[in-house]
Amino acid sequence: MHLSAETYNIQQAFSRYCLTGKNRRITGVQPDRLSWYREMVFNILTEALEAAFPIAYANLPQRKWDSMTQDFCSHHACKSYQLWKMPLEFYTYAVEHSWDEKYDIPYLNDLLSFEWAELELYNMEDLPTPAFVPQGNWLHDVILLNPEYRLLAFKYPVQKETTRRKLLQQVGAWFVLLYRIPVTGQVQFVELSPWLAFVAEQLYAGITLSDILEYAPQLNITVTDTLASDTITFLREMQTRQLVLGFQP
């Protein structure tokens, strides 16, 4: 490296000020002009976070949100060279620092996870679609699902509620499957019962529905006369909504 230690230190102090807003005195810099850099860097980061987490930004108390973004910008070194991926680091930082407890927002991790999954799915690289035929035997053929998906488990129904009171009232086991529509690229999500979430997970693993049904009693699922037909009805519906592609040829 050709940089002198002094130049290195000056650059370091400049960038640290931009991220933290602290220690504004830097050799050979106009302090009043320096603050513009702080504002620009901070705005880029916070605007990207607001765009990535619009529900969180709109519904969390402003002072808590501001504290979180300030904390993140000041103490986290963003690793992604792509700005759109930076919000994943924010979500990870929130989990690692137990912000759900610190800020008394028990549903925070679920909400950030949900919003990040939607953004990630929308932008992520295309995955190859397996060859499939549209018709087959729902019980015994391998059912192929849209490969661009995220199956998430939540304690709070962040996919349908935004107010704190309603979220806290409905603590439980919630499952949401998000997927990207191949033609439009739009992201859709479907709320699943625990059973259907299990079915989806197993179908993605290549297990046939008949084999999955056999396993149901071990999950304490009550195997009613209509469990198989209800599941197939659901899968048929999902085929019309492009989550189910079809059957392995």
Partner 1 sequence: MVGIGFRREFAEELIAGELIRPDFIEFAPENWMHIGGHWKKLLHQAVEKYPVLCHGLSLSIGSPEPLDQEFLRHVKSFLDEYQIQLYSEHISYSKCDNAHMYDLLPVPFRMDAVRHISSRIQQVQDFMERPLVMEIVSYYTPVAAEMSEVDFICEIVRQSGCQLLLDVNNVYVNAFNHQYDAKEFISQLPLDKVGYIHMAGHEKVLPDLIIDTHGEAIIDPVYDLFEWTIQRLKPVPVLLERDLNIPQLPALQGELNRLKSICNKHWSISHALVGGNI
Q: Using the minimum distance from each CB to partner 1, give the nearer residue, 84 or 198.
A: 84
- Torsion angle (degrees, nearest 10) of CA 162, 163, 168, 169: -100
Looking at residue 134, its amino acid is P
Cα–Cα distance, 201 to 96 (Å, whole number):
26
To the nearest whole angstrom, how small is the minimum distance from the Cβ of residue 65 to partner 1?
19
Cα–Cα distance, 21 to 17 (Å, whole number):
5
Cα–Cα distance, 38 to 24 (Å, whole number):
10
Q: Does residue 178 contact residue 158 with C-beta atoms inside 8 Å?
A: no
To the nearest whole angstrom, how small is the minimum distance from the Cβ of residue 164 to partner 1?
32
User: How open is the CA angle 150-184-44, to the nearest 5 degrees?
Assistant: 70
Q: Does residue 89 contact residue 78 with C-beta atoms inside 8 Å?
A: yes
The closest of 44, 1, 49, 2 to 19, measured between CA atoms, is 44
To the nearest whole angstrom, how small is the minimum distance from the Cβ of residue 35 to partner 1?
10
Q: Using the minimum distance from each CB to partner 1, give the nearer residue, 186 or 229.
A: 186
Joined together, the tokens standing for residue 194 give 């625990």
Q: Using the minimum distance from each CB to partner 1, give the nearer residue, 43 or 233.
A: 43
To the nearest whole angstrom, how small is the minimum distance from the Cβ of residue 179 to partner 1?
11
To the nearest whole angstrom, how small is the minimum distance from the Cβ of residue 12 to partner 1?
6
Q: Using the minimum distance from each CB to partner 1, give the nearer residue, 90 or 138.
A: 90
Residues that bind partner 1 (CB under 8 A): 1-4, 6-8, 10-12, 14-16, 18-19, 26-30, 33-34, 36-37, 40-41, 44-45, 48, 76-84, 86, 121-127, 148, 180, 184-186
Q: Using the minimum distance from each CB to partner 1, give the nearer residue, 137 or 186.
A: 186
